[in-house]
Amino acid sequence: MLAEAKGDTNDKYRCPMVDVRSISVMIAEDESVTRMGLKFTLETFPDVSLVAECSDGLSVILQALVTKPNIILMDIGLPKIDGITAAAKVKEVLPGTKIILFTNKEDTSLLRVALSAGFEGYRLKKMCGQDLHSAIRKVDAGKMFIAPELETAFLTMGAKTENQTNVNVLEQKAAAPEHEVGTVVSEAYEIEMVLGKGGMGMVYRGRHRATDRAVAIKILHPEFTNDPTVLRRFQQEADMLSKFCHTNLTSVSDFGRTKFGEPFMVMDFCRGKSLESVIGASGALDPQICLPLFLQVCSALQVIHAAGLVHRDVKPANIILSDDGEIKLVDFGLCKDTAIVERALKLTNTGEVLGSPSYMSPEQCLGKNLDARSDLYSVGMSLYEVLTGELPFQANSFYEMFKMQVQKEAPREPLIKAFVPAAIEEIILKCLAKSPDARYQSAEDLAQALRQASIGLQG
């Protein structure tokens, strides 16, 4: 009977075929509990499919290029690259992807920035599941969604819901006053020059007026001074760095607010050149010069990992070499220079990435949870480049590079051509194992292997 029913040609007894399109959604949220709650909520919607979840802005950009979601639920206060900047970068290459920003705070200034940047939705995290579903469907249909709590503020702005001008969000933020040379912060530090500009703040070189000591000053942009998530993360970063008292790490010596109310932290200023610039100018380093430097990198990572942290961005550009041979492992964190991000990603209008996340572990490329072994993969990549003058993987697009990082084994030929000793070659290749279980299990284990190889060089 079932077979006969299947072959029946009488249409009036058939149910009409309905083509239900699934709305692909990416979650961008660094708080694991909130991210899990959003994930479980989305799974209850039959017309919504979760294609990726990310915990930092850089991963959002990379994963969006791969998954091309219809909608991104974007937290504003993401680490590495803030949510607004990451959303703007995604929009540059994937204009069809719609952005719903969400935050804990009913802040009309952030709403204004979001609308001027051309994003399609703005909601509060306390929204219930059914309201979230309505927001997703409304934005997917080409309409704008504003949290009900902010609708009055939205209407008073005189904003239009159609044909919005897509103002570059970075230019919008640039309206915040940049601290000029000579500005005195907290009556103690005089600003000398800009070191880095980012979506959430700026880093300046300064000088302590009483001791004439050079310092680096990180200052949050004014629009984030009332965002509890960003403030908490900034405070945690300062607390963490202030506890590090290590030759190969920068430390925080002061924390406070400027006279304009902007949170700031004062850090060691690192004099010297990055390993990236050193090999760019002079070529690959000799193993006898290279190994002592990377023993210092391992020493810095041991301290970071002992604190339960993962650096996530170990690469030659973040290893600063002083004239006396001492290194500092640095990372500008929240205030990462957007120009550096663009050079690393080289986003084009076609949606391809001509550069690559060249030092990221396979699990980091896939957006998985990371531990110390991810940093050791990045150390291996850095060692490979510093000793050969080139990276193991070369690709014309991000998609090719992504596949190589996850699937392809690093070639031995460049190591052989550069006369890298066999013992060091094996160390590098073990660091670059695709499975974290096959790598060195700690920075201390890697340091021990490097010391043994260094002894072999002297013999």
> What domain range is 356 assigned to?
273-458
Question: What torsion do the CA atoms of 285, 287, 290, 294 make, to the nearest 10 degrees?
Answer: 140
Task: Answer yes or no: is 144 within a domain.
Answer: yes
Residue where one domain finishes, among candidates 101, 133, 165: 165
In the annotation, is 82 catalytic? no
Residue where one domain finishes, among candidates 247, 268, 289: 268
Helix %, strand %, coil % of the chain (to 5): 45, 15, 40
The vertex-9 CA angle with 8 and 11, nearest 5°, equals 110
- 161 and 35 within one domain: yes
- 326 and 207 within one domain: no
- 417 and 281 within one domain: yes
Block mean pLDDT (10 aa), the chain, length 459: 39 43 89 80 87 87 87 85 84 88 64 69 70 87 78 54 37 54 92 79 92 93 76 81 86 90 90 92 95 97 91 89 88 44 42 54 80 95 97 74 86 96 97 97 98 87
- 395 and 449 within one domain: yes
Tokens 């010069």 — which residue? 289
Task: Answer yes or no: is 173 within a domain.
Answer: no
Active-site position among 313, 324, 331, 375: 313
Task: Answer yes or no: is 6 within a domain.
Answer: no
Question: CA of 391: how far to CAs of 111, 295, 334, 377, 436, in Å?
Answer: 42, 20, 27, 13, 20
Task: Answer yes or no: is 12 within a domain.
Answer: no
Count Cα neighbours of 445 within 13 Å in the Cβ-side half-sphere.
13
CB 205 within 8 A of CB 269: yes
Q: What are 10-16's contacts with CB under 8 Å, separation 24+? A: none
* Residue among 62, 57, 53, 31 at smallest CA distance from 236: 31
Please report which helix (H) or strand (E) contains residue 230, including its range.
Answer: helix 228-243
Count Cα neighbours of 241 within 13 Å in the Cβ-side half-sphere.
25
Tokens 């292997």 — which residue? 449
The total number of structural domains that make up the chain: 3
Report the alpha-carbon distance of residue 116 to residue 165 in Å, rounded.
7
- 96 and 39 within one domain: yes
CATH number, domain with residue 332: 1.10.510.10
CATH number, domain with residue 148: 3.40.50.2300
- 427 and 412 within one domain: yes
Please report which helix (H) or strand (E) contains residue 219, including its range.
Answer: strand 214-220
CB 207 within 8 A of CB 214: yes
CB-neighbour burial class of residue 120 (10 A; exposed 0-12, middle 13-18, buried 19+): buried
- 339 and 193 within one domain: no
- 36 and 68 within one domain: yes
Task: Answer yes or no: is 225 within a domain.
Answer: yes
Q: Which two tokens stand for residue 74?
A: 């974007």
* Summary count for the chain: helices (H), strands (E): 18, 15
- 206 and 349 within one domain: no
Please report, in angstroms and rounded to a whole number, the separation of the first and last CA atoms in the chain: 85
CATH number, domain with residue 244: 3.30.200.20
Provide the pLDDT for residue 423. Answer: 96
- 200 and 160 within one domain: no
Task: Answer yes or no: is 8 within a domain.
Answer: no
Q: Helix or strand or coil: residue 181?
A: coil
Residue where one domain finishes, among candidates 244, 268, 292: 268
- 432 and 289 within one domain: yes
- 319 and 224 within one domain: no
Which residues are within 8 A (CB) of 15 and not within 5 positions of it... i.e. 6 or more apart? none
Tokens 């990221």 — which residue? 360
Return the DSSP state at 80.
S
